[in-house]
Structure 1
Amino acid sequence: MKIIPRIYIGLLVLLLFLSGCSVSKFIPEGHYLLDNVKVESDNKEIKPSQMNMYLRQTPNAKWFSLVKLPMYIYGAAGKDSTKWINRFLYRMGDAPRIYDPNLAEETRLQIEQAVRNMGYMSGQVSMYTQVKGKKIKVGYQIHSGEPYLISHVAYDIADYQIHDYLMADSARSYLKAGSRLDVNKLDQERDRITQYLQNRGYYRFNKDFITYQVDTMRNSRNVDLIMQLHPYQRKKEDPPSQHRQYYIRNVDFMFDVDFAELTSESLKGVDSLRSGGVNFFYKDKLFLRPQVISDYNYLQSGKLYRNRDVQNTYSALGRLNILKYSNIRFREELEADSAYLDAYVMLTRNKNKSLSFEIEGTNSAGDLGAAASVAYSHRNLFKGSETFTIKLRGAYEAVTGLEGYANSNYLEYGVETSLSFPEFMFPFLSSDFRRRSRATSEVTVKYNWQIRPEFERTVASAAWSYRWGKRGATHRFDVFDLNYIYMPYRSETFREYLDYMDERNPLLRYSYEDLFIVRLGYTYTYNSSGATTLKTSQRNSYSIRFNIEESGNLLYLFSRMINGSPKNGEAYQMANISFAQYVKTDFDYAKNFMIDDRNALVFHVGVGVAVPYGNSKSLPFEKLYFSGGANSVRGWSVRSLGPGGYRGDSNSLDYVNHTGDIKLDLNLEYRTHLFWKLNGAAFVDAGNVWTIRNREMQPEGLFKFNRFYKQLAVAYGLGLRFDLDFLIIRFDGGMKAINPMYTRRDRYPIISPDFKRDFAFHFAVGYPF
């Protein structure tokens, strides 16, 4: 018997054993196990899923929405809590949910109130139960009736200034004649008006000053709605007065100055200076330049108070890494008919310098090794919250499967430096533009030296980029990215191998030649929720990533202007080294469907196309697509699938051939919370890579519209995820289902699986998409 059927049989036996574990011993006499809860509605406008938040009791959780395995694990324990095995099973499992009629009635009342809040004032909810043995099913039926509609909206606002403001902004109101009398909409309108007025000087305004009066017409479901705005009262016993508009008077920034009350005595012994209409108070010395604060301050003396300016100031200061946190406090000053605010912005400094160490294990196609790195960071290099980082890295790996080489070790040394500015750095830009752009700038320089038995390779790069974002969207623009790949040494055995493969696979030689890559690119990412874990994502969400880059166009035009034609008749060169010319674009989309608070279905599609042209016959090896691995088709190890139906050979360098110019990934993953910090997943993956131009050794790898869908590789499998809140450790095991690399006889390993041939194990950090 093959290994994989044995595993299936073992899992089936375990499930049957656990499902047979009775939980009846944990159900008191006269009580029932809550088996199912169902909500039904006779109105399409009221979706049952909207009422899930009001359920006071829910059944035991199901793994993959199929089986209540955590409850059966709990049922496998005895009732003696002094035994360690029972305590262990208690923690692993989920205690049976015992039906509580009081909670069921409370649920019914809350659903009924929610229905009426939606405008169905005569709505009712009935409850029914079905008992079978020791189990009970509970159902709630919503009978909405006819909704109450708003016939007319009127305003009772004695404050003429606020009345004029609201009438000028009435087009944005949530309250419209003919709409349902929805309590949620009424509350949203209160929030909208509060935010609107707080951005026009009304510092003390809150939504409690707004109330509604509803007049019901006789024998009609149409109502007249009157919005009432009450005068200002700080306390109930205070006489009512008009709402005041506040102006910003003074803005003071306090650097590491801690005091409980904002008084002049508390500032004794503190140095101060004034710059740009702002006061600075500090001890010893100012750790940020005054101009930096001016660029990040939205609170302007003499202007009306705006809550938006406060939030923008918080957001801008949050981009300064040198600050640990910031706090803005206001003090009111009333003078005759005028009202003023003195703003105090308290800034607490973060640590300037930090040193970190990292040790990691590596596994490259079965070759084991280790790596270590040390990084130093300075968060305030020029007193403008500029972050300077330098990282040194070394790695060692024992290379196996090579013959004819003097040694079998792989060594890597690298140094990486970066300097990040918290603003848009470019000549001749105004401070106002830099403040509004909300962008960060980064300069990076890297050097990497690889020593393998076959060759030595050095990669040097320098880049300048900008990054900015807002409300879940992030933009990155790489203005300049230079990569220089230099091969100072190739062993004689390796040279002979390249000469042998030159005519059969020119890509292999091209991948080990000196090369310049001068590129620019743009990347856009968006996440509708920002959620990173199954437990924190409680609603449907989606993410998008789009990238486009080009390389070599400016160099190509410059070379043609200077030289007219290439020296060697094939490619232009810069400093006697060829440079790459290509365009590449990628698109990724992932959709997360929340089934309930423990289960989710995630769909992902990734498409990439890269076209070499002009100075390049092929893409640089670093820019080629590959398939397989922890984030692709998980039935294959990394760089072992494709292109198309190419099967490859057992040579250690054959990973170069498993690359392409076009990539397609399709993934469907069911995620479920198991217990504690452990999550599970079941997935189906499909995809492959293809070439745009025909390779002599790989005619089956060429992309063709009439056959590419027949060359899609398909895999299925299971995974475990340890959600440590700050880190997700992932283990995935994938099995090949459809293998386009094999003949028709072995093309469908899902029919006759071979564990040794078809299984791939992956260890990774983070979700695959």
Structure 2
Amino acid sequence: MKIRPIYYILFILLVAYGCSNTKYLPPGDMLYVGGDVTVKDSVMKRKDRKAMEKELTELLRPKPNSAFLGLRIKLYIYNIAGEPKKDKGFKHWLRTKVGEPPVLFSQVDMDYNADVLQNFSENRGYFKARTSADSTSSNRRAKALYTVTTGKQYTIRNVKFPDSTGTALDSTIARTKRRSILQKGQPYDLDIIKQERDRIDTRLKNKGYFYFNADNILVQVDSTVGNYQVDLKVKIKDDTPDKAKKVYTIDDIYIYPNYSLAYAKDSVKYVTDSVQQYKDFKIIDPQNTFRPIIYDRTMFFRKGDIYSRRDHNLSLNRLVNLGTFKFVKNEFRPADSLGNALDVYYYFTPLPRKSIRVETLAKTNSANYNGSEINVNWSNRNTFRAAELLTLTAFGGFEVQVAGQNKGYNVYRVGGEASLIWPRFITPIKIQDSSAYIPRTKALLSYEYQKRIKLYALNSFRAQFGYLWKDNARTEHQLFVSDINFVSPANVTEEYQRRIDGDPANDIEANPALQKAIDKQLIFGPTYSYTYTNTMQKRKKHTFYYKGSLDLAGTITGLATGANIKKGDTVNVLGVPFSQFVKMEHDFRHYLRLSENSQLASRIIAGVGVPYGNSSALPFIRQFFIGGTNSIRAFRARSVGPGSYDNSEGVADDSFLPDESGDIKLEMNTEYRAKLFSIVHGAIFVDAGNIWLWNKDPNKPGAQFTSDFLSEFAVGTGAGLRFDLSFLVLRLDLAFPLRKPWLPKNERWVFDDIDFGSGAWRKENLVFNLAIGYPF
């Protein structure tokens, strides 16, 4: 095997790079390159031993200089920048902001680190652990070596709680035993003991023990019982204050809805002269800024209630989620009238009632269009003095396709929207809600004019009325009992009409399916969506996202009128046939955390729309599309399918590529993501899927869904870079197809055709995607 000169050059550069990071070190010192911890235990499983070694290594201080592929680039930049002569300028910025000073071995206190490892081991139940420290060095680089010989881990033999026949406090603590996280046979762990104290404290706070805290609980450990076991005894500390042992109730509730520091000086005057009594609340609001009805829906405390930390937090959370107040705080004071009672004071600082906001957005969509949009929003956060939010929005924007056959067929949008949100359910039946999140009722009216250059324009009107609510931080519901959408075409160009009707003189075949995009469409009916996510829990190994939606269009009207398009009994509303269909869509995502800086993200989308009654197909704006920057990235946006239908056949190179839509969709994606360095992240991905029609279309052979649908999957792969700029993520993906569903059945896999050296292959198959944000 012949070694090329370039490899010698690279080897010399790497050696020179390594030497350059040590030649700047102080005389007699060495570069600290990290520490290794070895756990010796003959009983512990290898997996558990490795996990403990990783935990112990994270405790070592200081941390060595950061490295990428073994190269300490930041340290190298620090060294070559040199000592700046001034406290500003490029050289100072390069050394102090980009570079990183060397971590010296003389800065490492190995005895201190050994003590930390020893304490950690003992806190995990290894009471007879022994820790030793050593070091190794080479070429002015030093590494610390620690060995922890754990011995056998102690387990819990018995857990004793206070006697239930003792004081009221003892009895309350005793009743929490059945949910204790300290269980017989489990390993001793100081962190678990701390969690148990917090659990008991939380339970007591919800039972009225306002002044109690976790530090009042003592868990005594007896490790002399033998056989590597311990007995635990939960008790109240002897020096616990008397007030911490009492149950407190709520007395007077004061509310200051216009609180400020300047206002606070006159608070006593307002209490005596301007108190409005509303049910159990004493409201100090001389300006009558808010109707008292909002406090009924947000406050969980009532006069005479036993104090509860849960109700305390729920009240604060609901007040914050109103979106009306800039600051929300409360205070509890001993009541003058009763010995075991508390007065509650709520202080609210409102946001400005009216505001205007101008937003300029950079945007991208699944059709490979990129562009910009400007929104002007005017808001009134207290429209009817009960925290209602009225928003009026005007917007305008454009989208262009930077690559692909639709380049030049740009899209322009202008429109407006008015929405009103009430922070409550508006229903004939009173609905009780006890979550931390305010339920909302929303009404919306919107209009949009969309112009597709050289093709057509659309006028779109929408009206919605429905409800939004959350059970907790992970789940969200949206139910629109009325969702009306009317779309009407305008300015259909001759070019687009010629593509519909065909033009034999210019070798243009008729494509009646294009008519669907410009047909008048009237859609009305209820829609519902449910979302679950725990992706905010960044430390979990497995996190999930799920969104399911249901769209029932024209159901009641269709049943009432007996509409049946198959029999010719089509019913019009306002001169337009209304759409009748059932549509479901499920979007499931799984994120597997592989390390601190890498994860495997996967997604499955399954959707089906069934037209019936007054419709033979779903309306174009409610159909499914596939391909593009957030879908199967190896294919142009909305260019795949339906089924094995070839949508590019008969389309001239200088003409637009029509959007292909379907009634059924199945898509699967998986992507490995890893941080490369600084703000740069990389990804490798595989995408697969297709769309299909529910009913047969003679103009689109192979488009109908059949039992052979798996053989019609489009498959693509590729790699990309993501630049995480904190305020946005810029994504660059380069992909190419592995399977083309429109080819003959035995020729759809195209592995043998892959040829990166061929310009013709690259032009036809390589797809570049520029987008903002992650695809899923």
Q: TM-score by structure 2 length?
A: 0.84
The 5 Å alignment of 1:144-223 reads 144-156=150-162, 160-217=167-224, 219-223=226-230
Aligned to 1:225: 232
SS in 1 for 2:386: coil
Aligned to 1:657: 660
Question: Which one of 118, 142, 149 corresponds to residue 143 of structure 1?
Answer: 149
Please give the alpha-carbon distance, in whole angstroms, between the structure 1 residues aligned to 2:662 and 2:673: 29
Q: Is the 8 A contact 1:298 1:310 kept in 2?
A: yes
Shift of 1:327: 0.8
Q: Is the 8 A contact 2:526 2:553 kept in 1?
A: no
Please give the alpha-carbon distance, in whole angstroms, between the structure 1 residues aligned to 2:198 and 2:353: 41
Q: 1:707 to 1:421 in 2, by over 3 A?
A: closer
Aligned to 1:496: 498
Shift of 1:62: 4.4
SS in 1 for 2:174: helix
Please give the alpha-carbon distance, in whole angstroms, between the structure 2 residues aligned to 1:477 and 1:10: 64
Cα-Cα RMSD: 3.9
Question: Which one of 73, 79, 82 corresponds to residue 82 of structure 2?
Answer: 79
Please give the alpha-carbon distance, in whole angstroms, between the structure 1 residues aligned to 2:9 and 2:683: 19
Corresponding position: 1:525 with 2:531 = yes
Q: Is the 8 A contact 2:530 2:549 kept in 1?
A: no
Please give the alpha-carbon distance, in whole angstroms, between the structure 1 residues aligned to 2:15 and 2:635: 34
SS in 1 for 2:340: strand
Q: Is the 8 A contact 2:525 2:555 kept in 1?
A: no
Residue 426 of structure 2 aligns to which amino acid in structure 1?
Answer: M
Aligned to 1:669: 672
Q: Is the 8 A contact 2:690 2:712 kept in 1?
A: no
Deviation per residue, 1:195-247 (Å, 9 max, x gap): 1111111111011111122233354323332222135655xxxxx67711111
Shift of 1:739: 5.1
Q: 1:377 to 1:209 in 2, by over 3 A?
A: same
Question: Which one of 477, 486, 489 corresponds to residue 488 of structure 2?
Answer: 486
Q: Is the 8 A contact 1:148 1:180 kept in 2?
A: yes
The 5 Å alignment of 1:191-590 reads 191-217=198-224, 219-231=226-238, 233-234=240-241, 243-258=245-260, 265-267=268-270, 271-283=274-286, 285-333=287-335, 338-360=339-361, 371-395=373-397, 411-429=412-430, 432-433=432-433, 438-452=438-452, 453-469=454-470, 470-500=472-502, 505-530=511-536, 537-555=538-556, 558-563=557-562, 565-566=564-565, 569=568, 571-580=570-579, 581-590=581-590
Shift of 1:128: 4.8
Corresponding position: 1:33 with 2:39 = no
The 5 Å alignment of 1:743-758 reads 748-749=753-754, 752=757, 754=759, 756-758=763-765
Shift of 1:410: 5.6
Please give the alpha-carbon distance, in whole angstroms, between the structure 1 residues aligned to 2:611 and 2:267: 70
Residue 277 of structure 1 aligns to which amino acid in structure 2?
Answer: D
Q: Which moved more, 1:112-121 or 1:150-159?
A: 150-159
Q: 1:218 to 1:563 in 2, by over 3 A?
A: closer
Shift of 1:166: 2.1
Q: Is the 8 A contact 2:627 2:637 kept in 1?
A: yes
Shift of 1:514: 0.9
Q: Is the 8 A contact 1:148 1:223 kept in 2?
A: yes
SS in 2 for 1:24: coil
Aligned to 2:622: 623
Q: 1:101 to 1:154 in 2, by over 3 A?
A: same
Aligned to 1:4: none
Shift of 1:414: 0.8
Shift of 1:763: 3.9
SS in 2 for 1:511: helix
Deviation per residue, 1:326-380 (Å, 9 max, x gap): 11101113768x3110000111111111112234567897888764332111111
SS in 1 for 2:199: helix
The 5 Å alignment of 1:5-154 reads 20-21=16-17, 22-35=20-33, 37-41=35-39, 42=41, 43-44=44-45, 45=48, 47-48=51-52, 49-63=54-68, 66-68=69-71, 70-71=73-74, 74=77, 77-82=80-85, 86-87=91-92, 89-90=94-95, 91-99=97-105, 102-154=108-160
Aligned to 1:613: 611
Q: Which moved more, 1:560-569 or 1:167-176?
A: 560-569
Please give the alpha-carbon distance, in whole angstroms, between the structure 2 residues aligned to 1:352 and 1:18: 62
Residue 518 of structure 1 aligns to which amino acid in structure 2?
Answer: F
Q: 1:542 to 1:177 in 2, by over 3 A?
A: closer
Residue 547 of structure 1 aligns to which amino acid in structure 2?
Answer: G
Residue 267 of structure 1 aligns to which amino acid in structure 2?
Answer: Y
Please give the alpha-carbon distance, in whole angstroms, between the structure 2 residues aligned to 1:399 and 1:333: 68
Shift of 1:416: 1.0
Shift of 1:441: 1.8
Shift of 1:444: 1.3
SS in 1 for 2:245: coil
Please give the alpha-carbon distance, in whole angstroms, between the structure 2 residues aligned to 1:655 and 1:104: 68
Q: Is the 8 A contact 1:34 1:135 kept in 2?
A: yes
Residue 672 of structure 2 aligns to which amino acid in structure 1?
Answer: E
Q: 1:752 to 1:94 in 2, by over 3 A?
A: farther
Q: Is the 8 A contact 2:625 2:691 kept in 1?
A: no
Shift of 1:463: 1.3
Deviation per residue, 1:245-290 (Å, 9 max, x gap): 111110010122446989984536852210112100124x121111
Structure 2: state its 5+ residue gaps.
none
Q: How many residues align?
A: 735
Q: Is the 8 A contact 1:601 1:669 kept in 2?
A: yes
Q: 1:302 to 1:183 in 2, by over 3 A?
A: same
Please give the alpha-carbon distance, in whole angstroms, between the structure 2 residues aligned to 1:262 and 1:170: 48
Q: 1:728 to 1:493 in 2, by over 3 A?
A: closer
Q: Is the 8 A contact 2:318 2:437 kept in 1?
A: no
Q: Is the 8 A contact 1:636 1:734 kept in 2?
A: no
Deviation per residue, 1:377-419 (Å, 9 max, x gap): 111111111111111123457899999xxx9886532111111
Shift of 1:538: 4.8
Shift of 1:176: 2.4
Structure 1: state its 5+ residue gaps.
1-8, 235-239, 532-536
* Identity in percent: 20
Please give the alpha-carbon distance, in whole angstroms, between the structure 2 residues aligned to 1:297 and 1:729: 40
Shift of 1:674: 2.6
Q: 1:12 to 1:95 in 2, by over 3 A?
A: farther
Q: 1:388 to 1:758 in 2, by over 3 A?
A: same
Q: 1:634 to 1:373 in 2, by over 3 A?
A: same
Please give the alpha-carbon distance, in whole angstroms, between the structure 2 residues aligned to 1:224 and 1:36: 39
Q: 1:293 to 1:183 in 2, by over 3 A?
A: same
Aligned to 1:603: 601
Q: Is the 8 A contact 1:26 1:96 kept in 2?
A: no
Please give the alpha-carbon distance, in whole angstroms, between the structure 2 residues aligned to 1:750 and 1:40: 49
Shift of 1:587: 1.8
Please give the alpha-carbon distance, in whole angstroms, between the structure 1 residues aligned to 2:141 and 2:706: 58
Q: Is the 8 A contact 1:591 1:603 kept in 2?
A: yes
Q: Is the 8 A contact 1:232 1:243 kept in 2?
A: no
Please give the alpha-carbon distance, in whole angstroms, between the structure 1 residues aligned to 2:11 and 2:105: 25
